[in-house]
């Protein structure tokens, strides 16, 4: 006999599971659970709904015997070069990408790759421009320009200061009853933001490395936290690179909303929007209807060798 539970933490072989009755139990996996058609370093991830055995082993651990079909999941290329990918989280209602334009800088190519990956997994994204209390007038204008660009494509953008708890009240409302993911580079303030939403969590926050202007990694595995006001937040490891996996280049443009809406306007129905004549996408880039930085990311993804390691695509 098995009971259902939700995975809150995964550290490779060991899992922390919240049972339906609220009990927190430590679990391991029985046998080799694997995803059909997806080679991953972790068969089970945070956010998964799993079946857990009644019996415990000699060390008091329960056993995960199976997991439910996922609503969605999001992956990144793994640092383990023998595998294809690492599942960051499953069953996500919305992802929040925390962006900073300095200390550390979040490059546009990184933002675009994250958005493409989320689009492919049908996960809506909100961009949170954090640390606005640290920026000068020119930097705030730059953030306004980025917000204009991404909002025109359909991604909500909010300027926040997690440290000063500015503009984060809406998050408490949005997280309530949902399972959301907060992601971004190390040092952008993810843990500070989660602590601001629920101070009882008291997550460890990291200092910025002065030599690299990057955050020190304080999270090594994704972990899902139950929020006092309701809902769950997945805190992902600080992502330095975001390699796109499992996406066919023939449909890459489908994951750029501004390209998707112009699909039928190209001369050729199978136009790849690279070197073909009478391409509506390239015409829209030239006229300014599609932002050049977005198109540059698209070209980079189309020209990229899928077998390259993610290390060659580090942005920040």
The answer as to whether 6 is a domain residue is yes
Q: Are 15 and 68 in contact (CB under 8 A)?
A: no
- If you write DSSP's letter for every residue of 69-120 in order, what string do you get? PPS-EEEEE-SSTTSSEEEEEES-SEEEEEE-BSSSB--HHHHHHHHHHHHH
Q: Which of 176, 211, 235 is the last residue of a domain?
A: 235
Q: Is the residue at 78 inside a domain? A: no
Would residue 31 count as lying in a domain?
Answer: yes
pLDDT reported for residue 244: 60
Q: How confident is the model at residue 60 (pLDDT cuts 50, 70, 90)?
A: confident
Strand partners, 207: none
- Are 130 and 216 part of one and the same domain? yes
Helix axes 292-303, 137-153, angle to 10 degrees: 70
Domain-terminating residue out of 207, 235, 263: 235
pLDDT attached to residue 129? 98
Residues 150, 261 within the same domain: no
pTM: 0.85
Other CB atoms within 10 Å distance of the CB of residue 80: 12
121 and 201 housed in the same domain: yes
- Say what the alpha-carbon torsion angle 22, 28, 33, 35 is, to the nearest 10 degrees: 60
Report the SS3 class of residue 257.
helix
Q: What is the pLDDT of residues 74-85, one digit of tens each?
A: 877 655 455 567
Residue 158, Cβ neighbours under 10 Å: how many?
Answer: 16
- Residue 315: pLDDT band by 50, 70, 90 thresholds? very low
Average pLDDT, the chain: 83
Q: Distance between CA 12 and CA 14 in Å, rounded?
A: 6
The domain spanning residue 277 has which CATH number? 1.10.40.50
Domain annotation covers residue 244: no
Are 25 and 74 spatial neighbours (Cβ–Cβ below 8 Å)? Answer: no
User: Can you tell me the distance from the alpha carbon of 297 to that of 303, in angstroms, rounded to the nearest whole number?
Assistant: 10
Decide if 242 is inside a domain.
no
| 135 and 7 in a common domain | no
Strand partners, 166: 161
- CATH of residue 8's domain is 2.40.50.140
Q: What is the pLDDT of residues 14-53, one digit of tens each?
A: 899 999 999 999 998 876 665 555 567 678 889 999 999 8
Structure tokens at 296: 């540059």
Residues 201 and 260 reside in one and the same domain: no
The predicted-structure confidence for 143-196, as pLDDT tens digits, reads as follows 999 999 999 999 999 999 999 988 999 998 999 999 999 988 888 998 899 989
266 and 185 both lie in a single domain: no
d(C-alpha 53, C-alpha 15), whole Å: 13
Whether residues 205 and 282 share a domain: the answer is no
**Count of alpha carbons within 13 angstroms of residue 4, beta-carbon side:** 7
Asked if residue 243 is part of any domain, the answer here is no
Say how far apart CA 35 and CA 192 lie, in whole Å.
34
Number of domains forming the structure of the chain:
3
- Same domain as 48, residue 129: no
Crossing angle (nearest 10°) for helices 280-287 and 292-303: 140
| 197, part of any domain | yes
* Angstrom distance (rounded) from CA 45 to CA 7: 7
How far apart CA 94 and CA 71 sit, in angstroms, is 12
Summarize pLDDT for 220-265 with one digit per residue, the tens. Answer: 567 899 998 789 999 876 555 555 666 788 899 999 999 999 988 9
> Measured at the alpha carbon of residue 316, what is the angle toward residues 290 and 291, in degrees to the nearest 5?
5
Question: Are 258 and 307 contacting, i.e. CB atoms less than 8 angstroms apart?
Answer: no
State the residue range of the domain holding 62. Answer: 2-69
Do 201 and 263 lie in one domain? The reply is: no
Q: In terms of domains, do 114 and 25 share one?
A: no
Confidence of residue 310 (pLDDT cuts 50, 70, 90): very low
Residues 115, 141 within the same domain:
yes
**165 and 114 part of one domain:** yes
Q: Is residue 74 part of a domain?
A: no
What gap in Å lies between CA 301 and CA 22, rounded to an integer? 43
């Amino acid at each position: 006999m098995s009971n259902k539970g939700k995975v809150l933490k995964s550290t490779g072989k060991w899992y922390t599971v919240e049972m339906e009755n609220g009990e927190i139990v430590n679990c391991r996996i029985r046998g080799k659970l694997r995803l059909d058609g997806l080679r991953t370093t972790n068969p089970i991830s945070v956010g998964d709904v799993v079946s857990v055995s009644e019996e415990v082993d000699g060390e008091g651990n329960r056993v995960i015997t199976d997991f439910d079909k996922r609503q969605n999941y999001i992956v990144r290329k793994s640092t383990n070069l023998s595998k294809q990918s690492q599942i960051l989280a499953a069953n996500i209602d919305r992802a929040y990408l925390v962006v900073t334009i300095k200390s550390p800088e979040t490059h546009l190519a990184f933002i675009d790759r994250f958005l493409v990956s989320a689009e492919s997994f049908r996960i809506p994204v909100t961009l949170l421009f954090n640390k606005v209390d640290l920026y000068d007038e020119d930097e705030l204008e730059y953030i306004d320009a980025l917000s204009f660009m991404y909002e025109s494509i359909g991604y909500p953008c909010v300027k926040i200061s997690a440290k000063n708890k500015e503009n984060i009240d809406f998050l408490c409302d949005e997280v309530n009853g949902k399972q959301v993911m907060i992601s971004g580079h190390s040092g952008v303030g993810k843990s500070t933001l989660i602590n601001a939403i629920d101070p009882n969590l008291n997550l460890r926050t990291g200092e910025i490395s002065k030599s690299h202007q990057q955050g020190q990694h304080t999270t090594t595995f994704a972990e899902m936290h139950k929020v006092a006001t309701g809902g769950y937040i997945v805190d992902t490891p600080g992502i330095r690179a975001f390699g796109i996996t499992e996406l066919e280049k023939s449909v890459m443009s489908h994951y750029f909303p501004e390209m998707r809406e112009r699909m039928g306007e190209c001369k050729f129905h199978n136009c790849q929007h690279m070197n073909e004549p009478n391409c509506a996408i390239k015409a829209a880039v030239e006229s300014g209807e599609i932002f050049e930085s977005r198109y540059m990311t698209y070209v980079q993804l189309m020209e990229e060798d899928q077998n390259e390691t993610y290390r060659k695509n580090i942005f920040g």
